[in-house]
Amino acid sequence: MRPMLPTTELALLRRVATEQSTNRAPSLVAAVVRDGELVWSGARGFLDGSGGDQPDDDTQYRLGSITKSLVAALVLRLRDEGRLELNDPVDRHVPGTAFGSTTIAQLLAHTGGLTAESPGSWWERSEGGDWPALENSLTPGEVKHRPGRRFHYSNVGYGVLGELVARMRGTSWLEAVQAEITGPLGMTRTSPHPEGRYAPGWAVHPFADVLLPEPSPDAGAMAPAGQLWSTVNDLARWTSFTGGHTGGVLHPDTVAEMREVAVVDDADTWTAGYGLGLQLVRTGGRRLAGHTGSMPGFVSCSLVDPATGTGALAMANSTAGVAVVPLVLDLISIADEYEPNLPGEWRASPTDTRLLELTGLWHWGPSPFHLRLLPEGGFNLAPAEGRGRASRFRPVAEDEWIGLDGYYAGETLRVVRGTDGLPQHLDLATFIFTRTPYDPATPIPGGVDEKGWRP
């Protein structure tokens, strides 16, 4: 672990100590990651809440709903393999449910309209049943909203996604997580039940300094909504994954897609939203992604700012009281304020010099655009004055490119060459970009006035 400056470490530890003391957490662990590395960790309190063993970076806490993000990554892996489409209805892969027209994307983003909790006994404190039992309990009355209408957080939806993964992989969702996510990322201490050193879950009395043990049963078919336990070391790897250091588990563009806003939770102010398996927070000019978690006896949070590469996490063995989201946001702010990340040094990068002929000035009608090659490959097409439609593109075939973001995300750009083999114009979603404004030698839709420009 690369150390931070002593002044930074003291400020971070003070924030953790204040949270643990003020909100009476039996124990609290936290960490900061930067550019894919764990750069600081700290802990306060005792595992039993009154003395004895203290937590460390290898102590397991229950993650709760952070589990959902790992399940979502499995679904996106299936999509990237061509095994499914996010707009597929549930019925195509898990037939016979009462909500078969709901799409996979809607379940991922909590817009499917399904009930928040599974019918029957409170699932987080009850031994879970199998999939047939859960499916039979999900009658048409458990669809609370028209699919796609609004954000309605649904633990049940992730139980369904876990079953979908299990059917498509021919194994349990948990075995798929271990084989495809935690194993490749080196998250060796992430498991469905506590193993080795772990923090027991406690409820803290609201009016006295006494504790009550909380149960931690197996959630059965609901387990994909919140079963996993993990450590600071492992959750730091997952936080880094969310920021784009994917370790080959998913393409960084796919993780960026998971971080895109699929639905806003508070439309008037847009401070909270949800992507594809990731919660989104907008505050102080930042847009962060990650997830929170809570189960009886535990709260957790993992967030990262992809723009700066700084993220943080926190876990406590208390049912309520610890404000993990403000804590994590403060840890990120402290790290970036005390030790701002320096921009990487510019250096020449390998480039296919044949692409140089595409660079420079292009025009959409009379509007000038600049095409620049990017260090990571591909290019950026943006208005010369910085206002308007801009997108990055990556190659998919000879003289054919696909938009990655902005207005032209998913749209195809084709380079059309003249008889001399040189680029004559760009054809982007029916828009023609030319080297000079409205070049009459190119197929401008509607043609160009034969008298040309006039005073």
CATH number of the domain that 425 lies in? 2.40.128
Q: What does the longest C-alpha to C-alpha distance in the chain come to?
A: 89
Q: Which CATH number do you get for residue 82?
A: 3.40.710.10
- For residue 51, pLDDT over 90 is answered with no
Mean pLDDT, the chain, whole residue set: 95
In a domain, 100, yes or no: yes
Q: Which of 276, 310, 338 marks a domain boundary?
A: 338
pTM score > 0.95 for this model? no
DSSP label at 152? -
- For residue 267, pLDDT over 80 is answered with no
pLDDT at 309: 94
Shared domain check, 81 and 215: yes
Shared domain check, 333 and 387: no
CA distance 436 to 445: 15
In a domain, 159, yes or no: yes
Confidence class for position 147, pLDDT limits 50, 70, 90:
very high
Predicted confidence (pLDDT) per residue in 293-334, tens digit: 999 999 999 999 999 999 999 999 999 999 999 999 999 999
Shared domain check, 416 and 366: yes
In a domain, 346, yes or no: no
Confidence class for position 52, pLDDT limits 50, 70, 90:
confident
Taking residues 175-192, what's their average pLDDT?
98
pLDDT at 185: 98
Number of domains in the chain: 2
- For residue 1, pLDDT over 80 is answered with no
- For residue 387, pLDDT over 90 is answered with no
Shared domain check, 326 and 417: no
CA distance 107 to 143: 12
CA distance 1 to 24: 29
Run of H or E residues at 416: strand 412-417
Predicted confidence (pLDDT) per residue in 109-118, tens digit: 999 999 999 9
Shared domain check, 117 and 47: yes
Which three-class secondary structure state does DSSP give residue 20? helix
Shared domain check, 373 and 275: no
CA distance 367 to 377: 25
Confidence class for position 376, pLDDT limits 50, 70, 90:
confident
CA distance 4 to 2: 7
CA distance 58 to 195: 11
Q: If you search the block for the tokens 């008889």, which residue do you land on?
A: 419
Shared domain check, 310 and 194: yes
- For residue 99, pLDDT over 80 is answered with yes
Shared domain check, 133 and 47: yes
pLDDT at 318: 97
Confidence class for position 398, pLDDT limits 50, 70, 90:
very high
DSSP string, 273-284: EE-SS-EEEEET
Predicted confidence (pLDDT) per residue in 331-344, tens digit: 999 999 999 988 88
- For residue 277, pLDDT over 80 is answered with yes
Per the document, the length of the chain is 455
Shared domain check, 381 and 314: no
pLDDT at 59: 98
pLDDT at 377: 86
Q: 261: Cβ–Cβ under 8 A, 6 or more apart, which residues? A: 273, 274, 275, 280
DSSP string, 333-394: HHHHHHSPPPPPPP------GGGGGG-EEEEETTEEEEEEE-TTSSEEEEETTS-S--EEEE
Amino acid at 346: W
- For residue 96, pLDDT over 80 is answered with yes
pLDDT at 14: 98
In a domain, 181, yes or no: yes
In a domain, 19, yes or no: no
The percentage of the chain sitting over the pLDDT mark of 90, rounded to a whole number, equals 91
Tokens of 155: 């633990």
Q: Are 359 and 373 in contact (CB under 8 A)?
A: yes
pLDDT at 50: 85
Which three-class secondary structure state does DSSP give residue 427? strand
Predicted confidence (pLDDT) per residue in 194-242, tens digit: 999 999 999 999 999 999 999 999 999 999 999 999 999 999 999 999 9
Shared domain check, 217 and 298: yes
In a domain, 311, yes or no: yes
Amino acid at 145: H
Burial of 102 (0-12, 13-18, 19+ CB in 10 A): buried
- For residue 384, pLDDT over 90 is answered with yes
Shared domain check, 358 and 278: no
DSSP string, 169-219: HTS-HHHHHIIIIITTTT-TT-BSS--SSBPPPEEE-TTSS-EEE------
Which three-class secondary structure state does DSSP give residue 241? helix
Q: Are 391 and 401 in contact (CB under 8 A)?
A: no
pLDDT at 41: 98
In a domain, 358, yes or no: yes
Q: Which residues pair with 17 in a beta bridge?
A: none
DSSP label at 221? G
Shared domain check, 275 and 370: no
Q: Which domain holds residue 369?
A: 353-434
